[in-house]
A and B are shown apart, each in its own frame.
Chain A
Amino acid sequence: MAMWITQLFNGLSVSSILLLIALGLSVTFGLMGVINMAHGEFIMIGSYAAYLTQNAFKELLPGRMFDAYFPVALAASFLVAFAIGYLLELLLIRHLYGRPLDSLLATWGVGLVLQQIARSIFGAPNVAVNSPSWLNGGLHVMDGIDLPYKRLFILALVAVCLAAMYLYINRSHSGRRMRAVMQNREMAACLGISTRRVDGMTFAIGSGIAGIAGCALTLIGPIGPNIGTYYIVDAFMVVVLGGVGKLIGTVLGALGIGVFNTMFEWWSTASLGKVFVFLCIVAFLQWKPKGLFAVRTRQLD
């Protein structure tokens, strides 16, 4: 019994991490149609931003302030990734709209460059980030069931990000402009929306969320130049499975993959579990080529 509850929680937790890494991608890929292979590197940027914030707190502030670094790191990760994303859109992505497969190759190159830069600055080995002490330990529910605070924190963080994005996209003025541009660029431009600005903003927001994901991942995973490559494929699978362009799709996609992955891994091995999950995705897409939730359109070609 305790095992089942733990595994259920683990499944949820894995889903929340998947959702966090896919959320940014659901904006850049889902809304804008840019196959952003450098998405993983924005996660990496977020992680390194957290690392630098931690170091700054360690050196500049008294020890008792150390625990406060994490909220600052979250903000810093978002801002740094946001800025670099904005810059990337300005210099490169802008020229690739409507050519998704080209954007794939170009951003892949960008990803390699970013990895190499990280390797030159921080070195190839992993760096250590100490989690704040208020996130150590776990919630003791009953015998054999401990829910780690870090996992709970990530769940909450995802919920907050999701809510913020929902509100931004559906309730704010700039969100409405964003949707207008993504749905019909020419029409939006005719109505006086600066599509350039909206594009830049949208891409930067997607990158910023990836930065937040990177910061959160320092709690549970490694921080090195290669970490982006571990998450990028999973992130794409989540978005494609959920259906491009719908937040709810991404949520359900992450939930599906996370829970199934945990279950399969429990019953078989980690390698086979992964193979099963990917086979399921391939099979599922045969049945529903556009994912769980597709934006309906009458457009042909």
Chain B
Amino acid sequence: MEDGASDWPTFAEKARKLLSEDKVATVFGGWTSASRKAMLPVFEELNGLLWYPVQYEGLESSPNIFYTGATTNQQIVPSVDYLLEQGKKKFFLLGSDYVFPRTANKIIKAQLAAKGGETVAEEYTPLGHTDYTTIIAKIKEAKPDVVYNTLNGDSNVAFFKQLKDANIAASDLTTLSVSIAEEEVKGIGPDFLAGHLVAWNYYQTTDTPENKTFVENFKAKYGADSVTSDPMEAGYTAVYLWAAAVEKAGSFDVDKVKEAAKGIEWNAPEGKVTIDGDNQHIYKTVRIGEIQPDGMIKELWNSGSPVKPDPYLKGYDWAKDLSAGS
């Protein structure tokens, strides 16, 4: 176990250490886009294997990384479709100023343009920004149907607290967030969030037999107050998928494991997942949920069956110009 200290060059250095000195068979981890980008060249150079458990901005498919979090077409694209179906046409895009929100919003803008929605404004705030009064004033001025929120971490706390202060409740203005899971709800306080929407692939309340066991085991280990969330579930799933691949390959060798991993299926807490052999992402079920006053998330809609991962959005006509050249 190595601690990346959330410092990106450190991630690269530790990855190098794990692979070249400790000769580990595989690595699970990484949180931000930047940490993954920092580690990617190291894993490709030394032919290591990384399992990355967080939802991310797509447009990437490294032969040395398995992506067990959602790519854009398993979270963002369907959630925008869902909102459009609900009659929400005018989108206000709000995000922290870094790569995931900017790329996500670029995709959303293209999608809205193609499907008759409208982007009324797009705003980014520096990481760690804590005063949202001006942004909220801008939201009031723009009168959107929905705020699509890709803020990160602490900024979410400030935004939702101040949104409530401005007398804007979830019933007045829908927001949909893609970086708020059960654990973040706990840190913000469910009072401030009840009624707001989120999009993920898994909630603690997801109704599968596997999830029941998962939640029980988790609470037994970390206490009854602890909550499970999507990135945790994706990390958990990654370990089982790797184990299954190693078993099938009968070896820890990176190339053999990669070959064996193609098409592996496993019943994860979120339902059945399958590794897509082409891009090493996994098929996942998309779920839109609403935050409840008790801090849990109630599923409102799901995609019915696992969605095929499409990191470059090749299957969408309107996305053609987005990834031109890459």
From A10, A17, A270, B123 is in contact (CB under 8 Å) with: A270
Alpha-carbon distance A75/B134, docked complex (angstroms)? 31
A137: chain B residues at CB < 8 Å are 167
Q: Which residue of B lies closest to A149 (CB)?
A: B165
A13 touches B133 (CB 8 A): yes
A220 touches B162 (CB 8 A): yes
B134 touches A265 (CB 8 A): yes
Indicate if B157 sits at the interface (CB-CB under 8 A).
yes
B189 touches A129 (CB 8 A): yes
Residues A230 and B154 in contact in the complex (CB < 8 Å), given A10-B133, A266-B134: yes
Indicate if B279 sits at the interface (CB-CB under 8 A).
no
Taken residue by residue from 199 to 231, chain A's Cβ proximity to chain B (1 for < 8 Å, 0 otherwise) reads as 000000000000000000001111110110111
Indicate if B97 sits at the interface (CB-CB under 8 A).
yes
Taken residue by residue from 127 to 168, chain B's Cβ proximity to chain A (1 for < 8 Å, 0 otherwise) reads as 011110111011011000000000001110110011011110
Interface residues of B (CB under 8 A from A): 97, 123-126, 128-131, 133-135, 137-138, 140-141, 153-155, 157-158, 161-162, 164-167, 183-184, 186-191
Residues A262 and B134 in contact in the complex (CB < 8 Å), given A126-B188, A220-B161: yes
A14 touches B124 (CB 8 A): no
A184 → chain B closest CB, angstroms:
40
Number of A-B contacts (CB under 8 A): 103
A138 touches B165 (CB 8 A): yes
Interface residues of A in 98-140 (CB under 8 A from B): 125-131, 136-138
A126 touches B157 (CB 8 A): yes
Alpha-carbon distance A137/B154, docked complex (angstroms)? 22
Known: A14-B133, A220-B131, A271-B126. 18 other contacts (CB 8 A): A17-B131, A128-B186, A128-B188, A138-B166, A148-B162, A151-B165, A219-B161, A220-B162, A222-B153, A222-B154, A224-B187, A230-B154, A266-B134, A266-B137, A266-B138, A270-B125, A270-B129, A271-B97
A229 touches B128 (CB 8 A): yes
Indicate if A297 sits at the interface (CB-CB under 8 A).
no
Alpha-carbon distance A127/B157, docked complex (angstroms)? 10
Interface residues of A (CB under 8 A from B): 3, 6-7, 10, 13-14, 17, 125-131, 136-138, 144, 146, 148-151, 219-224, 226-227, 229-231, 262, 265-266, 269-271, 274
From A14, A130, A148, A150, B189 is in contact (CB under 8 Å) with: A130
A224 touches B154 (CB 8 A): yes
Alpha-carbon distance A142/B162, docked complex (angstroms)? 19
Residues A14 and B166 in contact in the complex (CB < 8 Å), given A220-B161, A222-B187: no
Residues A226 and B189 in contact in the complex (CB < 8 Å), given A125-B183, A146-B167: no
Alpha-carbon distance A17/B129, docked complex (angstroms)? 14
Q: Which residue of A lies closest to B164 (CB)?
A: A136
A234 → chain B closest CB, angstroms:
10
11 A-B pairs with CB atoms under 8 Å apart are: A3-B141, A6-B137, A130-B189, A144-B140, A151-B165, A221-B161, A262-B133, A265-B135, A270-B97, A270-B123, A271-B125
Alpha-carbon distance A127/B154, docked complex (angstroms)? 11
Alpha-carbon distance A150/B162, docked complex (angstroms)? 9
B271 → chain A closest CB, angstroms:
27
Q: Which residue of B lies closest to A135 (CB)?
A: B165
B155 → chain A closest CB, angstroms:
8
A130: chain B residues at CB < 8 Å are 189, 191
From A6, A146, A221, A269, B158 is in contact (CB under 8 Å) with: A221
B134 touches A270 (CB 8 A): yes
B130 touches A230 (CB 8 A): yes
The 10 residue pairs across chains A and B that have the minimum distance between CB atoms: A126-B187, A128-B189, A222-B157, A148-B165, A222-B154, A270-B125, A10-B133, A265-B134, A221-B130, A221-B158
A14: chain B residues at CB < 8 Å are 131, 133
A230 touches B128 (CB 8 A): yes
B137 → chain A closest CB, angstroms:
5
B133: chain A residues at CB < 8 Å are 10, 13-14, 151, 262
Q: Which residue of A lies closest to B187 (CB)?
A: A126
Alpha-carbon distance A266/B124, docked complex (angstroms)? 12
Alpha-carbon distance A126/B183, docked complex (angstroms)? 9
* Residue of A150, A229, A269 contacting most chain B CB atoms (<10 Å): A269
A10 touches B137 (CB 8 A): yes
A129: chain B residues at CB < 8 Å are 189
B135: chain A residues at CB < 8 Å are 265, 270
From A148, A265, A271, B166 is in contact (CB under 8 Å) with: A148
Alpha-carbon distance A13/B138, docked complex (angstroms)? 16
A219: chain B residues at CB < 8 Å are 161
B157: chain A residues at CB < 8 Å are 126, 221-223
B126 touches A7 (CB 8 A): no
B187: chain A residues at CB < 8 Å are 125-128, 222, 224
Alpha-carbon distance A266/B129, docked complex (angstroms)? 15
Q: Which residue of B lies closest to A17 (CB)?
A: B131
A151: chain B residues at CB < 8 Å are 133, 165
From A7, A220, A229, A271, B134 is in contact (CB under 8 Å) with: A7
Q: Which residue of B lies closest to A9 (CB)?
A: B133
B123 touches A227 (CB 8 A): no
Q: Which residue of A lies closest to B154 (CB)?
A: A222
From B125, B130, B165, B166, A222 is in contact (CB under 8 Å) with: B130
Alpha-carbon distance A170/B119, docked complex (angstroms)? 55
B266 → chain A closest CB, angstroms:
28
From A222, A262, A270, B126 is in contact (CB under 8 Å) with: A270
B141: chain A residues at CB < 8 Å are 3
